[in-house]
Amino acid sequence: MICDELRDRLDFHLTSYRESHDGAGEIWITLDGEKIFTCGHYTYEFAESEGYHLGLAGEALRASLAEKEIFSPKDLGSAMKEYLDMQSIDALLSADPFIRAFAIIDRRTGKRALEKFIVDENEHSLVKAFYGLRMDASC
């Protein structure tokens, strides 16, 4: 569903570490072979544990981790599954930054819809990166 001009430049990777006791893994996204985003199970687990030690729990902990852009691979996988059942214009309005990012690079999302899309300074880095890419591309 990636627009033609970006299809050969973006790659999505998923791995599972077979030597780990629970088969945990990592997801990362590359642009022209360079990593632009990553989320790993252990990175998330360690950050979550630190948050608990600081007295954070529940939604406060998730918000703190999201602010630091620390996500579980499950978050990205769930967003991807949810995105596949959405209209691209609805996805642009989603509260989930991954769903918004997917909508930006989707070939179904037109230039006019993207020109109306507002990217503020607090936006997730993946949304900013994909928006910049899409606006520079001629798709």
Q: pLDDT tens-digit profile of 70-118?
A: 999 999 999 999 999 999 889 999 999 999 999 999 999 998 999 899 9
Tell me how far apart the alpha carbons of residues 15 and 115 are, in angstroms, rounded to a whole number. 35
DSSP label at residue 119: -
Burial class of 120 by CB neighbour count within 10 A (0 to 12, 13 to 18, 19+): exposed
Tell me how far apart the alpha carbons of residues 113 and 89 are, in angstroms, rounded to a whole number. 8
Residue numbers of the domain that contains 49: 4-136
- Cβ–Cβ under 8 Å, residues 127 and 24: no
Number of domains in the chain: 1
Which pTM value belongs to this model? 0.89
* Residue 26 φ then ψ, to 5°: -145, 150
